[in-house]
Chains A and B, each alone.
Chain A
Amino acid sequence: MSDKAEATGTQEAVEVHHDEHEEHHAHSFWRTYVFSTDHKVIGMQYGFCGLAFLFFGYCLIATMRWSMAYDGQAIPFVGPLLEALLGNNVAPGGVMSAELYNVFGAMHGTIMVFMGIVPAAFAAFGNYVVPLQIGAVDMAFPRVNMASFWAFFFGCVIMSVSFFIPGGAAQAGWTSYSPLATVIPTDGQTYWLIGMVMLITSSLLGAVNFLATIINMRAPGMTWLRLPFFVWAQFITAFLLLLAFPPLEAAGILQLMDRVLETSFFLPTGLVVGGQDVDVSGGGSPLLWQHLFWFLAHPEVYVLILPGMGIVAEIIANNTRKPIWGYKFLVGSVVVLGFLAFIVWAHHMYMTGMGTVISAFFQTTTLLISIPSVIILTCLLISLWGGSIRFNTPMLFALAFLPMFGIGGLTGLPLGFNFSDVALHDSYYVIAHFHYVVAPGTIFAIFAGVYYWFPKMTGRKMSEFWGRVHFWSSLIFMNLIFMPMFAQGMAGMSRRMSDGGATYSLANPDNADVTVGALSDTIMGLNVSISAAAWAMLVAQVPFIINLFWSVKHGEKVESDNPWQATTLEWETPTPPPHGNFIKEIKVYRDPYEYSVPGARKDFSPQAQPAK
């Protein structure tokens, strides 16, 4: 059968099936919007949950910032609420206790990473956009896809419920280092572990599905080097999740055994807690937990950033109206980055006394991995050169991503060398570093993606004016929050202190004799300004939230299925795309970013447009 004949045949078939489904689904609200197997609905479910948890996680830190700026004072508005909800031993008189600070701190990290960014950046955009961009009708395993979402949802429920159990949620930080995490007598950590096992299961199901979809469901003509960079980024991300998450699952199971069945995988011999010998066999290794944890948690950093880079690449190509510079470099870099991501994990552990040989090895690989990262950033930067740039909201966020991620990446180098890490380890410098990567990095990319693909999802654009308000205020406050933290960190302020370092400040009379190392009033004063910026940041998200919901019904209607005049396949579908996505047979003839092709009639040549 010739290609042409096959194409016509299938096209009819697709249309017939399409109609059947429309009719069938019209009657079933639950199957269409809740227990859906449609990748687009699942993508939006992930997106909604992810954004909601990003907001919730941010509220946690905004509350903690009060404790750091004004330790021991009642929190206005929120304090009485906390006291009523969580009990007066947790928040007596509306004052945040150190235990509650620890709960919020541990859960802020957990929620932001595993319940916020991964679902929003990887699962939401991946689900919605990847099958469309490769010209597939759905994911390879739609029901596994649904199972993945509901495993995620169930994990989120367990995590959320744990706030309200006696003793509260997990308190040992998002890293949950043993023995601390094991010997804390409250049940929060057990909930955390069970919740994590659910979230990991969800990620594994999702990763298998993404990989199978990208490998086996590409439209005819969609060769590997015609994949949009976003798809490549998601492909590598899925591999990272597939192979790096199971060791954390193993670690989670072992820590669960330690907590529930009193084994001592992570408890050393002779452990004494509160002056009492612990009735365990000992012989375990606290270092083992750190190895297993960081074996996931470092690749996790790339899980957080790669989808963001993918989104940014799409938007930059579209709004500079020219091909991405060095597409093959980008692809090569992201593949190399994926490999190297697995052999850098112990640079989080320089302070554990692993030995100089191991430190030297991980220092080397860590510095090596900066090469592909820099290549990606450089390619994206050079792509701007000579473009006639359209400064719309998605593009503003994508442009801001470049320097912000750049700051985050470059400030990581001193942490990659073990000699300088010794000074900076566990300080606010580290917090500033990784938040520059994920907050104005990935989260800006998520915003960019929302503004960019919103017209495809709803048929309407979000308000451009309020988008700009959102962008500029977020950009300013983001830097006001995190830039001073570098200074605090270099002055020696440790992380995870509920009083914001007051114990170690010069203002504390106990430190009157301390001549070196106490925190100056300037450094302590930054706590207040950072907190103020953090609350302003929360307010700055209001325009976005309103814009998002308001525009679903009232936004400016898009004229065509391809409002941004983009080249990739997701814009070939009707708006919004129906179940089954494409109403015409999709065949790919071109590279992903054929913008401003010399001699072409228009300044963009879609991938599905046959070459003349």
Chain B
Amino acid sequence: MEIPYTVKPRPDTGLYNGKLGIWLFLASEVMLFGALFSSYVLLRVGAESGTWSMGLMNITVGAGNTMVLIASSMFVVLAWAELKQGNLAGYKKWKWATIACAVLFLVVKWSYEWPQKFKHYDVWLNDAAVVHDSFEKGYRKTALRPTDEAPKGVSVKEHVEGFYTTRYFKEQSDGSDGSKAQFKKAWDSGTLALSGHINGYEEAVINVQVGEWNADAGVTQDEAKEAITAAGGEADQALDGGTQVLKELDYDAAKRAEYALGQAGFKVTLSVARYEKVEAHPWFWRTPRVNEDIGGKPRVQSIILALDHSDDGEGHYEEIEIETRHISRLSAYEPKHSTFFGIYYTITGLHAAHVLGGIIVMLYNMLPIGLAVWHKDRERFTNRIETFGLFWHFVDLVWIFLFPILYIL
């Protein structure tokens, strides 16, 4: 059995099967990305003022990556042209160039662009007075500091307005006052987020009080003894009905003890012994986790936030302390931060998956198993590279749409 038109085009359609197939596949891809872009439009149009986190992207890096992809699109055509002339060495040269571009693109995205965002936090507070106070503490020096061009000496509010109106409230700038009015509203109501890096926090050190042992819990005495010994307690004392306290455990140890001893039939109560300052740059914190109740007190007492736009020009950022009881929500620049970051990671992630798939196919076509087709049937192999090129151009084109809507607009 021989399937027709796998290599030579069918005269009346002018297409060989592979090319027809890839065009149809790309039509479905257009609908896939089209649906995501449409979702972007609908979500953005429906977004409340100040909730669309625009203007935060590094345009230079994005533009650089755009150039890398465009170059790769050119190389993929050159590789195909070399094959058309029967030059396998030339094909390999340009194909390696294409692969190098694709890898560079992903490296920039996955080792620089994304991780950088995962440690950068926005913090929303529940008290307007605290918000204003925090801004005051964080930006007073910077607002007063003269710059090379002019003596600054502006108020903190004006300083903050200066950079907020170029991002969150940018979309409101239909008239010259639109964005300012929106900013004022957010400033007055205290819904403005504080942005920066978390440099440390005060975390609870926990006392675990072990109470009565319930003999009916379905656990033998020996097992209970083992559990309490493993947790660092006095076994005999515990089983005699006396209470004891496992002192000053860190959070993980306390939680483990609570679980294990609870399973073993003990009555367990956690309480905060004291708070300890920790220097750390946490990833992906969750508000409920920060505010987790431990004997009536929060797990994290306060956080140290180094505010954006507060640097003294020498790399030192102003740090402020925020009590977690004032925090209504905090989120890194991760997908859950806002619908903008959600759609940003979804579309760029799906695009990156396409780039990764492309790299795999390109590598296959460089390996002996792929090249064997060239040695058997040159035209078939050349066609393969052509259809791959069509796919690669599409991936490039998606980025050309994606870059302006996510980085610039």
A residues with CB within 8 A of B: 13-14, 17-18, 21, 137-138, 140-142, 144, 204, 207-209, 211-212, 215-217, 242-247, 249-251, 253-254, 257, 261-265, 269, 279-285, 288, 291-292, 295, 579-580
Given contacts A208-B21, A250-B39, A283-B51, contact A265 B342 (CB under 8 A): yes
- One of B35, B331, B339 near A250 (C-beta < 8 A): B35
Min CB distance, B206 to chain A, in Å?
23
Asked if residues B28 and A207 are in contact (CB atoms below 8 Å), the reply is yes
Asked if residues B342 and A216 are in contact (CB atoms below 8 Å), the reply is no
CA distance A249 to B31 in the complex (A): 10
- One of A216, A291, A580 near B20 (C-beta < 8 A): A216
Given contacts A262-B336, A281-B337, contact A215 B29 (CB under 8 A): no
Min CB distance, B359 to chain A, in Å?
20
Asked if residues A212 and B335 are in contact (CB atoms below 8 Å), the reply is no
Subset of 17 A-B contacts with CB under 8 Å: A14-B2, A17-B2, A137-B1, A137-B2, A144-B21, A207-B28, A215-B15, A216-B15, A243-B27, A244-B31, A247-B31, A250-B36, A264-B342, A281-B51, A281-B342, A284-B339, A285-B42
Given contacts A243-B31, A281-B336, contact A18 B286 (CB under 8 A): no
Min CB distance, A132 to chain B, in Å?
14
Asked if residues A216 and B17 are in contact (CB atoms below 8 Å), the reply is yes
- One of A138, A208, A246 near B35 (C-beta < 8 A): A246
Asked if residues A247 and B32 are in contact (CB atoms below 8 Å), the reply is yes
Given contacts A142-B3, A288-B42, contact A279 B287 (CB under 8 A): yes
Asked if residues B39 and A254 are in contact (CB atoms below 8 Å), the reply is yes
Min CB distance, B304 to chain A, in Å?
22
Given contacts A216-B17, A243-B28, contact A261 B335 (CB under 8 A): yes
- Which A residues touch B405, using CB under 8 A? none
Asked if residues B3 and A242 are in contact (CB atoms below 8 Å), the reply is no
- One of A253, A254, A291, A579 near B1 (C-beta < 8 A): A579
Min CB distance, A177 to chain B, in Å?
16
CA distance A279 to B46 in the complex (A): 20
Min CB distance, A224 to chain B, in Å?
10
Q: Which of B2, B35, B46, B350 has the most CB of A within 10 A?
A: B35
15 extra interchain contacts, Cβ-Cβ under 8 A, other than A246-B31, A283-B339?
A17-B1, A140-B5, A216-B5, A217-B17, A246-B34, A247-B34, A250-B35, A262-B335, A262-B336, A263-B335, A263-B336, A264-B336, A264-B342, A265-B343, A284-B43
Q: Does B141 reach chain A (CB closer than 8 Å)?
A: no
Identity of the chain A residue whose Cβ is nearest the Cβ of B122 in the assembled complex: A281
- Which B residues touch A211, using CB under 8 A? 20, 24
Asked if residues A295 and B28 are in contact (CB atoms below 8 Å), the reply is no
- Which A residues touch B20, using CB under 8 A? 140, 211-212, 215-216
Q: Does B111 reach chain A (CB closer than 8 Å)?
A: no
- One of A141, A249, A261 near B21 (C-beta < 8 A): A141
Q: Does B4 reach chain A (CB closer than 8 Å)?
A: yes
Identity of the chain B residue whose Cβ is nearest the Cβ of A243 in the assembled complex: B31
CA distance A209 to B15 in the complex (A): 14
Q: Report the contact-size class of chain B (Cβ under 8 Å from the partner).
A: 35 or more
Asked if residues A295 and B35 are in contact (CB atoms below 8 Å), the reply is yes
- Which A residues touch B28, using CB under 8 A? 204, 207-208, 242-243, 245-246
Q: Does B48 reach chain A (CB closer than 8 Å)?
A: yes
Min CB distance, B42 to chain A, in Å?
5
Given contacts A13-B2, A204-B28, contact A253 B346 (CB under 8 A): yes
CA distance A17 to B3 in the complex (A): 11
Q: State the main secondary structure of chain A at its contact with B.
A: helix
- One of B3, B5, B29, B36 near A138 (C-beta < 8 A): B3
- One of A140, A208, A261 near B3 (C-beta < 8 A): A140
Asked if residues B329 and A279 are in contact (CB atoms below 8 Å), the reply is yes
Identity of the chain B residue whose Cβ is nearest the Cβ of A244 in the assembled complex: B31
Q: Does B364 reach chain A (CB closer than 8 Å)?
A: no
Q: Which chain B residues numbered 327 to 370 have a C-beta less than 8 Å away from chain A?
A: 329, 331, 334-339, 341-343, 345-346, 350
CA distance A283 to B336 in the complex (A): 11
CA distance A138 to B17 in the complex (A): 13
Asked if residues A261 and B43 are in contact (CB atoms below 8 Å), the reply is no
Ranked nearest first, the 5 interchain pairs of A and B with the lowest CB-CB distance are A580-B1, A263-B342, A246-B32, A250-B35, A247-B35
Interface string of B1-23 (1 = CB under 8 A from A): 11111000010010111001100
Q: How many A-B residue pairs have CB under 8 A?
A: 148
Identity of the chain A residue whose Cβ is nearest the Cβ of B337 in the assembled complex: A281
Given contacts A257-B335, A265-B343, A283-B51, contact A251 B21 (CB under 8 A): no
CA distance A264 to B46 in the complex (A): 13
CA distance A263 to B344 in the complex (A): 11
Q: Which chain B residues numbered 284 to 339 have a C-beta less than 8 Å away from chain A?
A: 286-288, 329, 331, 334-339
- Which A residues touch B24, using CB under 8 A? 207-208, 211-212, 242
- One of A144, A257, A281, A291 near B331 (C-beta < 8 A): A281
Q: Which of B27, B32, B39, B288 has the most CB of A within 10 A?
A: B39
CA distance A238 to B162 in the complex (A): 54
CA distance A243 to B34 in the complex (A): 11
Min CB distance, A12 to chain B, in Å?
12
- Which A residues touch B29, using CB under 8 A? 246
Identity of the chain A residue whose Cβ is nearest the Cβ of B15 in the assembled complex: A216
- One of B5, B331, B336 near A217 (C-beta < 8 A): B5
CA distance A250 to B31 in the complex (A): 9
- Which A residues touch B337, using CB under 8 A? 281
- Which B residues touch A288, using CB under 8 A? 39, 42-43
Q: Which chain B residues numbered 247 to 293 have a C-beta less than 8 Å away from chain A?
A: 286-288
CA distance A521 to B77 in the complex (A): 74
Q: Does B163 reach chain A (CB closer than 8 Å)?
A: no
CA distance A84 to B32 in the complex (A): 42
Q: Which of A211, A243, A281 has the most CB of B within 10 A?
A: A281
CA distance A226 to B109 in the complex (A): 52
CA distance A278 to B33 in the complex (A): 29
Min CB distance, A235 to chain B, in Å?
12
Min CB distance, B148 to chain A, in Å?
38
Identity of the chain B residue whose Cβ is nearest the Cβ of A140 in the assembled complex: B17
CA distance A292 to B287 in the complex (A): 31
- Which A residues touch B31, using CB under 8 A? 242-247
- Which B residues touch A284, using CB under 8 A? 43, 339
Q: Does B25 reach chain A (CB closer than 8 Å)?
A: yes
Given contacts A245-B28, A257-B346, A269-B48, contact A292 B39 (CB under 8 A): yes
Identity of the chain B residue whose Cβ is nearest the Cβ of A210 in the assembled complex: B24
Q: Does B47 reach chain A (CB closer than 8 Å)?
A: yes
CA distance A246 to B30 in the complex (A): 9
CA distance A284 to B4 in the complex (A): 50
Identity of the chain B residue whose Cβ is nearest the Cβ of A203 in the assembled complex: B28
Asked if residues A137 and B3 are in contact (CB atoms below 8 Å), the reply is yes
- Which B residues touch A18, using CB under 8 A? 1
Asked if residues A212 and B21 are in contact (CB atoms below 8 Å), the reply is yes
Asked if residues A217 and B4 are in contact (CB atoms below 8 Å), the reply is yes
Given contacts A212-B17, A253-B346, contact A281 B32 (CB under 8 A): no
- Which B residues touch A14, using CB under 8 A? 1-2
CA distance A138 to B5 in the complex (A): 12
CA distance A470 to B15 in the complex (A): 47
Q: Which chain B residues numbered 33 to 71 have a C-beta less than 8 Å away from chain A?
A: 33-36, 39, 42-43, 46-48, 51
